[in-house]
Chains A and B, each alone.
Chain A
Amino acid sequence: MDPCPQCGAAPTSPLACSACGALLDPPADTDPWALFGLEPGPSVDGERLRKELRRVSRLVHPDFHGSDAANRDLAERNSARLNEAYEVLRDDYARADRLVRLLGGPDEQAERQMPQAFLMEVLEWNEAVEEARDAAPGSPPRAALDALSDDLQARREASLAELVVGLEGLPPADNPGLPERLTEARKLLNALRYLDRTLADIRELRLEQAAR
């Protein structure tokens, strides 16, 4: 990190100088790891992340930078950037998604083909949700949906773990086999999108049914 332009000290966050309290304005494309003073990677130490959030939140809090309008605007912007970065880093899916993009891997537009067998499964999940929609409590379609929900949840956990293993050790970006690893990661992320969509549909249906 460059020295603080106000006091010359080495800042401990790219968003604010902890020595003199001056707000900093890092480039817009600064990645979320850098905003937290971390190296990019598939895993993150949740405790360290939360501590850093608390520490930097205080440094950039608009209440402490209210004296002039420009400064308050920057404080608001930095607070928003800090919170957005935190949301990306704390979420296993969002973090892996961002890492794949950061390393130049394909997005879901470029790598969108999924195996027919998988899409057939997705179709079946959707049909199971549909069949349970008007089914009575305790009826077979409702029980089938509960089983499906547990199964999808377990597959979600397994896929997220597989994703971390697949991205382990990245960067460096000159890692051998990098394009293939990033493509595999994107396929897993795509599968997770379908899983999460169905899990969200199931949650929504349960809320609807509970409200009846």
Chain B
Amino acid sequence: MAYSDKVLDHYNNPRNVGALDKSSSKVGTGIVGAPECGDVMKLQIEVEGDRIVDAKFKTFGCGSAIASSSLATEWIKGKTVDEALEIKNTAIVEELSLPPVKIHCSVLAEDAIKSAVRDYKEKQQESQS
């Protein structure tokens, strides 16, 4: 099975690899995994107001998992947290031309966004109460 050009591009030049300060109240961290293959993905967002101003990821997994998370960070930057939640894995599948056996990689990326936003929102609630 060959990877699409877009997958190879993200795999060879992943965008936004790295880490944000996990302890900051402006940063939400999501970690998700795929037990089928043992892939693990960390995605972090930094939020100003309600807008995502920065996003970083670290993924240990196959090319499709790396490309899915790289693309996800590109897409959520500049969006509000609620807009980011609307990103569906199917859009990632379409953009990267992922084959059926790699769809779970896109699900992982969607879950990672949701998990990072949830962590951010929980932090905000804690700081308000």
In whole angstroms, how far apart are the Cα atoms of A190 and B32 in the complex? Answer: 13
Chain B CB within 8 A of A123 CB: yes
Which residue among B31, B32, B58 has the maximum number of chain A CB atoms within 10 Å of its CB? B31
In whole angstroms, how far apart are the Cα atoms of A198 and B37 in the complex? Answer: 11
Task: Tell me whether A112 and B31 are in contact in the complex, defined as CB-CB below 8 angstroms, given that A123-B40, A123-B42, A126-B40 are known contacts.
Answer: no
Chain A CB within 8 A of B100 CB: no
Chain A CB within 8 A of B36 CB: yes
Q: B35 — which chain A residues lie within 8 A by C-beta?
A: 108, 112, 114, 189-190, 193-194
In whole angstroms, how far apart are the Cα atoms of A193 and B61 in the complex? Answer: 13
For residues 61 through 96 of chain A, which have their beta carbon under 8 Å from a beta carbon of chain B? Answer: none
In whole angstroms, how far apart are the Cα atoms of A119 and B37 in the complex? Answer: 13
Name the residue of chain A whose CB is nearest to the CB of B104: A109
Chain A CB within 8 A of B33 CB: yes
For residues 183 through 197 of chain A, which have their beta carbon under 8 Å from a beta carbon of chain B? Answer: 189-190, 193-194, 196-197
In whole angstroms, how far apart are the Cα atoms of A123 and B30 in the complex? Answer: 12
Task: Tell me whether A108 and B36 are in contact in the complex, defined as CB-CB below 8 angstroms, given that A123-B31, A123-B60, A126-B60 are known contacts.
Answer: yes
Give the size range of B's interface with the partner: 10 to 19
| CB–CB B38/A197 < 8 A | yes
Main secondary structure of the interface of B (DSSP, over half): strand
Name the residue of chain B whose CB is nearest to the CB of A198: B38
Chain A CB within 8 A of B34 CB: yes
In whole angstroms, how far apart are the Cα atoms of A67 and B35 in the complex? Answer: 47
Task: Tell me whether A193 and B31 are in contact in the complex, defined as CB-CB below 8 angstroms, given that A123-B42, A123-B60, A126-B60 are known contacts.
Answer: no
Task: Tell me whether A193 and B38 are in contact in the complex, defined as CB-CB below 8 angstroms, given that A119-B31, A119-B32, A120-B31 are known contacts.
Answer: yes
Q: How far is the CB of A196 from chain B (nearest CB, A)?
A: 7
| CB–CB A116/B31 < 8 A | yes
Q: B34 — which chain A residues lie within 8 A by C-beta?
A: 112
Q: B32 — which chain A residues lie within 8 A by C-beta?
A: 119
In whole angstroms, how far apart are the Cα atoms of A16 and B107 in the complex? Answer: 46
| CB–CB B60/A119 < 8 A | no
| CB–CB A194/B33 < 8 A | yes
Q: Can you list 25 A-B contacts with CB-CB less than 8 angstroms, sorted by A residue number?
A: A108-B35, A108-B36, A109-B36, A114-B33, A116-B31, A119-B31, A119-B32, A119-B33, A119-B40, A120-B31, A122-B33, A123-B42, A123-B60, A126-B40, A126-B60, A189-B35, A193-B36, A193-B37, A193-B38, A194-B33, A194-B35, A194-B38, A194-B40, A197-B38, A198-B38
| Further pairs besides A193-B35, A194-B40: 6, Cβ < 8 Å | A119-B31, A122-B40, A122-B60, A123-B58, A190-B35, A196-B38
